[in-house]
Amino acid sequence: MAELIADIAVNIPLKQLFSYRVPESLVAAVKVGMRTDIPFGRRTTIGFILALREGQAEGLKDINGLPDKDILLSAGLIKLLRWAADYYCHPIGQVVRSALPAGLGSDKNTTKILTEQVYTSTDCSAEPKGQKQKEILAYVCANEPVTHSQIAKEFSASQTVLKRLVELGCLTSQQQEKIRDPFLLETLPEDKNLTLTEAQELAIGSVKPTIVNGEFAGFLLHGVTGSGKTEVYLHLVAASLAANKQVLVLVPEISLTPQLVARFRARFEASGSRIAVLHSGLSAGERYDAWREIIRDQVQIVIGARSAVFAPIQNLGLIIVDEEHESSYKQGEGFRYNGRDLALMLGQQHGCPVLLGSATPSFASYYRSEQGMISRLSLDRRVHDGDLPSVEVVDLRGQVLEGEITNELQEAIELALEKDEQVLLLLNRRGFSPFVLCADCGESFHCPNCEITLTYHQYNNQLRCHYCDYANSVPEQCGKCNGANIEPQGAGTEKLEQELNELFPAATIVRMDRDTTTRKGSHKKIITAMMERKIDILVGTQMIAKGHDFPGVSLVGVLGADTVLNFPDFRSGERSFSLFTQVAGRAGRDSGGGRVYIQSYNPEHYALTCAAQQDYHDFYQQELPFRQELGYPPCGFLANLVFAGNNSSQVAAVANELCSYLFTVADGVDVLGPSPCPLAKLRGKTRYQVLLKSTARGKLRNLLTMLESETKNVPKQVTLTIDVDPIDML
């Protein structure tokens, strides 16, 4: 007799589903997408039901129970997760776990569902006596059902009065689930009534029919900084909502969400549309509640960082990927997916358009638009029709700097402050100094877990590793020569902030980097202060360059440009052009113009000269031959195999053995390696890598498929990570 069988994903490093029998007592309740308690080996764990089927269940264990009433994985999400697990060569159970909010994929769900009292009126003839009772009863009658928190917000000392109204029979109350709302204490922002430019109307007109018709299409919205890309997003979202469809908006960083969410709330919440946000800056409870609201179809717009691509939206009409060029869309550890690429796949699966927006598109997206694979929409002027900022590349060759700021930039800052204008200064290196050394013998201080020098943080007098978070106090003397001349070398944002305080003591100077934005809401606090003109000079790493609209900024300075430009990666030119163009675009957004100074020892580099002209096409034309000649993406396809373990000899031997196998079966794929990773030791592990490169994606996929059978022979002491379409190969 056929029985019901559940195919279940378990959070373990195996690329398979596990089959369990559904006992008769659970047949009526069980559904695809639910969590389930299952016996697994000698323990009990959590699994996720990805499929139900009828068959012979002989020899299969029974599932133990269903811990939730909710379905947590929609059918569309399961389809995406299974595709992603296959494409990125990652165990399906770990893929499912990565997609879910914290707590839902573990054996013990520590995130609780909150409840509160909800009140409704009755037909009771009893007459309330006090004025407060009458006011609250009238309020409930006019707005029912009403939660206790709503009443408490309107009336003080309401608990005793409510209890008396229930006793009189005027009100009834019951427990109802309470959703944690991250906007609860915020006032609704005011919407901006903006007039569309002709270019904006053309862009909207190109995308809108695909929303209405429910067709997949890829679009690249290439608009210069300040050209009004967000307003295009808002009009297209309105079109999707008018078609009774939902919208997913992806942003690359938490720091971008406050301003974007405020624009969306101002436009859509007043008309009744529910917006949910998903990112790591929220509490676990807030993410848990948002997820359950989305799966229940109670949300029309979802905004979040890369993991929001897994939101269980069931009626997608539009996907927007803002600042699509950002490398942070790529997950760097564990399940190494690319949120932008999964958004395109999600659009194909749901039959809806995907809009990629950027002032500096990723080379891959621009290449696709040149090849006709996606449509490019251009916004080539700022919305106020003002000029783009003037950019000057300051030649550092031959200059002797007393600090980090040249005379030209210092004079420009003084002039901006005199005019009561704001200044942005970018130095893409946090801490006080990148390293310290002994001036007597030249010894530097390295992380014991990683092959990297320790960064000096002056505020707590610590040497810290930015990879494994190892920290130690600065030694009073050198361990090699016992010298006492321990000196910091180079500069980070902390040192730049100190220098600015000395140069401009009357100015309000704030630093924005990972060290100053660890607390919840810290990004928003700094951004709000900038918008309210409470900050004169904002110093920061690349997070200050990403998508912010600061009307008061007239001057931007870029320090340490050569650090980005000379990074040992084939994408260094692309990243440099993008970063410098983006940060330059923060200047003069309100009134047009603005000034930008980029300090460099290599002022003739095409990434700098093209960024100074904000000419993406010229940069593309100069970069493309290099990519074509070497077969680098998007003119080729890569997969990086990283071997890591405690025993360096064993890691090297395993890498060599597997590489020898790949040489014998590779067809149309270059096998490069094995070689030590650029960071040969990371978090205590020795690391080797093998790079696979091919001009044909199919041939690379075939080789990765053949590789799977061989990975079973990799000893447990060595970890093999397969990074498909790698971004960071350190």
Q: Where are the domains of the chain?
A: 3-99, 114-178, 198-379, 390-432+491-629, 637-724
pLDDT at position 590, please?
Answer: 64
- Residue 589 pLDDT more than 70? no
Which tokens go with 92? 């399906």
Distance between CA atoms of residues 256 and 230, nearest Å? 12
Which of the four pLDDT bands, split at 50, 70 and 90, describes residue 282? Answer: confident
105, 87 in Cβ contact below 8 A? Answer: no
Judged on CB neighbours under 10 Å (0-12, 13-18, 19+), 190 is: exposed
| Rounded-to-integer distance, Cα 103 and Cα 11, Å | 13
Residue 94 pLDDT grade (very low, low, confident, very high; cuts 50, 70, 90)? very high
Q: Fold for 3-99, please state it.
A: GIY-YIG endonuclease (3.40.1440)
Residue 541 CA, distance from chain mean position: 16
Is the domain spanning 390-432+491-629 CATH 3.40.50.300? The answer is yes
Name the CATH topology of 198-379: Rossmann fold (3.40.50)
**Quick one: residue 169, left, alpha or beta (phi over 0 = left, psi -120 to 50 = alpha)?**
left
Percent of the chain with pLDDT over 70: 95
Is the preceding peptide bond at 715 cis, omega within 30 degrees of 0? no
Residue 80 sits at φ, ψ, to 5 deg, of -65, -40
The answer to whether 114-178 and 198-379 have equal CATH topology is no
**pLDDT for residue 190:** 75
Please give the distance of CA 338 from its chain centroid, rounded to a whole number.
10
Q: How far apart are CA 6 and CA 20, in angstroms?
A: 5
Q: What is the pLDDT of residue 186?
A: 62
Residue 249: per-residue pLDDT: 96
Given 3.40.50.1970, 2.30.110.10, 1.10.10.10, 3.90.70.10, which CATH number is that of 114-178? 1.10.10.10
Rounded average pLDDT over 388-403: 86
Residue 93 clears pLDDT 80, i.e. is over it: yes
Q: Which fold has domain 637-724?
A: Alpha-Beta Plaits (3.30.70)
Contact 287, 298 (CB under 8 A): no
For 114-131, how does the pLDDT look when each residue is reduced to its tens digit (9 = 90+)?
A: 767 788 878 776 777 777
| Residue 426 contacts residue 435 (beta carbons within 8 Å) | no
Residues 474 and 464: their CA atoms lie apart, in Å, by 10
Distances in whole angstroms, Cα of residue 133 to Cα of each of 27, 32, 141, 172, 267: 49, 48, 12, 14, 37
**Whole-number pLDDT of residue 592:** 64
CB neighbours of 335 closer than 8 A, spacing ≥ 6? 84, 88, 90, 94, 95, 98
437 vs 192: CA distance, rounded Å: 53
- 71, burial (CB in 10 Å: exposed 0-12, middle 13-18, buried 19+): middle
